[in-house]
Amino acid sequence: MKLTENDKYTIPRAMLDEIVRFEGGEYIVNDDRAIIVRIDGRYKCLVEDINDFPKFARKFGINGLVCILCAPINTPKIIGFEANAVKTYAYTDPMPPAVNLPDGVEIKRLAPTLAQTVKDRYHNPGDYSVQTIAELMRDKGIFGAIKGGRLAGFIGRHPEGDMGMLEVYEQFRRQGIGSALERFLINFIMTFGRMPVCDVYLDNEPSINLQQNIGMTAAPDYTFWGEYDNR
């Protein structure tokens, strides 16, 4: 039985399959021990026994940015890389959530000319350049909440298709804008027949509460993003 046929892994099964089907990823392992997908030199991995990951890494030359799905909390120590644990959530309901816009708020797709604004205001830009953000805006869409003619926040998707980049400006918080943005994006993603997913850091209590309120389902165990070096 392939690992992805195990009911425990319903969410990562859909995630990995969609990266292959929609984002140009390729399976380099897909059996009863592991499922590993490569996309643009990055790897998303689901391994039955995390202790086996270094063997797969050596065999298939896995280096660089790696995402480990549904893994135990001590995964970084076991495989020897630095990464903070996050929780993966997915929207699995067949019907999308209602989008209740706060008074005076509308949501619009932002033009790539606003890429610098997004980079400057996003609290966790990582290594995203202005060019990368502009490409995400063209290819996947970054959507902004507009209130009183002003940009109040935005949300988008990462290169693998996961939801993220959720930012609500300080003066517009606690007005339901973050919830409206995520609900809107869930609806948008579901029009393509895809499952909306996102990662949330364990200490981000407001975002965890948001996922629960929207009706997102948590995947088993934890997800880790980090730079892996098997040399």
Give the mean pLDDT of 82-86.
Answer: 93
DSSP H stretches of helix in the chain: 10-23, 53-60, 75-79, 115-121, 130-139, 177-190, 205-214
45's tokens: 């991995």
Give pLDDT tens digits for 155-210: 999 999 999 999 999 999 999 999 999 999 999 999 999 999 999 999 999 999 99
Whether pLDDT at 110 is above 70? yes
Q: Is the pLDDT of residue 3 over 90?
A: no
Cα dist. 172→45, 120, 167, 168, 175 in Å?
37, 17, 10, 6, 6
Q: What is the pTM of this model?
A: 0.94
> Which ranges of 80-147 does DSSP label H, i.e. alpha helix?
115-121, 130-139
Q: Is the pLDDT of residue 1 over 60?
A: no
- The phi, psi pair for 25, rounded to 5°, reads -75, 170
Q: Taking each helix axis as running N to C, give the angle between helix 205-214 and helix 177-190, from 0 to 180 degrees, rounded to the nearest 10.
A: 50
Fold for the domain defined by 105-194:
Aminopeptidase (3.40.630)
Kindly indicate the confidence band of residue 48, based on its pLDDT and cuts at 50, 70 and 90. Answer: very high
Residue type, 126: G
Cβ atoms of 87 and 208 closer than 8 Å: yes
pLDDT surpasses 70 at 4? no
CA gap 105, 180 in Å, rounded: 9
Burial 143-175 (b: 16+ CB within 10 A, else e): bbbbbeeebbbbbbbebbbbbbbbbbeeebeeb
Cα 97 → chain centroid: 18
For residues 105 and 146, the answer to whether their CB atoms sit within 8 Å is yes
